[in-house]
Structure 1
Amino acid sequence: MSEKYPDRITMETVEKVKVSPDAATLALKVSGESSVFTTEALKKLKDVKSLIDGLKRLGVDESKLSLENIRVTSKSGMFAGASSVTFTLKLQSLAIADVPQTLALAASTKNISLEDIQWEYSYLETRKLEIMKSAARENKKQALELADALGVRLIAVHSLYPKWDEPNRQAMAGLTRSRSLMKARGPGGGDDSEGFELAMNHSDFLEVVIKAEYRVSEFAA
């Protein structure tokens, strides 16, 4: 062994755990007509007000609600009188327990459809640290066993690299697949509740691969 090229062994370990979201942000597409296009005016549209009232009954705080991507179309080319309007109603960081009822409420409200779901994992950084420690301990254990089998000693960690595979935060791919299946079945083949059920049964995996290189005492000739 030389100082320039010390003897080393490399170990790679994998730790994988199942995780479920604890919150979700929903984007709902709203269509309607209005002559005033401020946020407060759009919240008073019949269908939107019905949805907001329903959310309040569920205990969802109105502060979680925001309007985005407002688009106005005038049939006459002039914004006089009522014009068609579409916008995104975003519900931020709903507790996962509130999501099924919110989706059911949206599905039962006219002119409102689900546009997107983003899963949220508020505990993810804490969980990542936990499984990285576990993977590192297993890595060292295996390195010690290998060193013992080779008749050398571990001296120090030369390098350690974690590689992460985090859970997918997008839910709409699953919903799109579900709706495609329903269309293929033809009339009466199902409704959006199947897509909602698919989304709400969501779980995914958090995985880390730890690759560590250890300096060891000189290998026997």
Structure 2
Amino acid sequence: MAKLSVNINKIATLRNSRGGNVPNVVQFAKDAQRFGAQGITIHPRPDERHIRYQDAHDLKEAVYTEYNIEGNPIPKFIDLVLQVKPTQVTLVPDAEDAITSNAGWDTIKHKDFLVDVIKEFKQNGIRTSIFVDPVLNLVEGAKETGTDRIELYTEAFAHNYVQGNNEGVKPYTACAELANKLGMGVNAGHDLSLDNIQFFKEHIPGLLEVSIGHALVAESLYLGVENVIQMYLRKLK
């Protein structure tokens, strides 16, 4: 079974829109785990427009499953991760003004940089994952960085799936097979939802973890958080 890590950025966005501490992101993380989530993901950005850097510290004691911190490894982010020491750090090359992540790493062009960053995290006992597009040579490049896992960027799959093009999963299957062969774990995330998650999971060999936030929170507005988490868990079996 692939693990479900709930991205709680949208909960922080809602809190920040009103001020104060409602909804409380720490309590939401506790509740999500109580409802069955097997991990919590946050993606702090430099402008702290949703998750704040202090949230990352506050969540440390609340997350008793897997704690995944995503982000672009600028110095401020690297310092945060080394202070918090989450279970996993996922490296994402997003620009500071990006609304959401929109591309994976060029693992060949940025190999030397990634090698240095990943080495530092691994020396501190933090599992590493690299956000990558479903391109075989980029998966091969990821292997050369020393990363433990890759996270497949699934926006293209989700777009194809909603258009009725099930063939769009094939590059992801091929990349997962290659990652397995090379000894890297496979995670996935971005635009995965209740509509497409089961199909995706069934076509990705060795899928270890999915990180889902926007869709899960949106679906929960109608169906309830506890119910939606349980629905994901059933589809991920």
Q: TM-score range by the shorter chain?
A: under 0.3
The structure where helix makes up a greater share of residues is 2
TM-score (norm 1): 0.26
Structure whose residues are more often strand by fraction: 1
Q: TM-score, normalised by structure 2?
A: 0.25
Larger Rg: 1
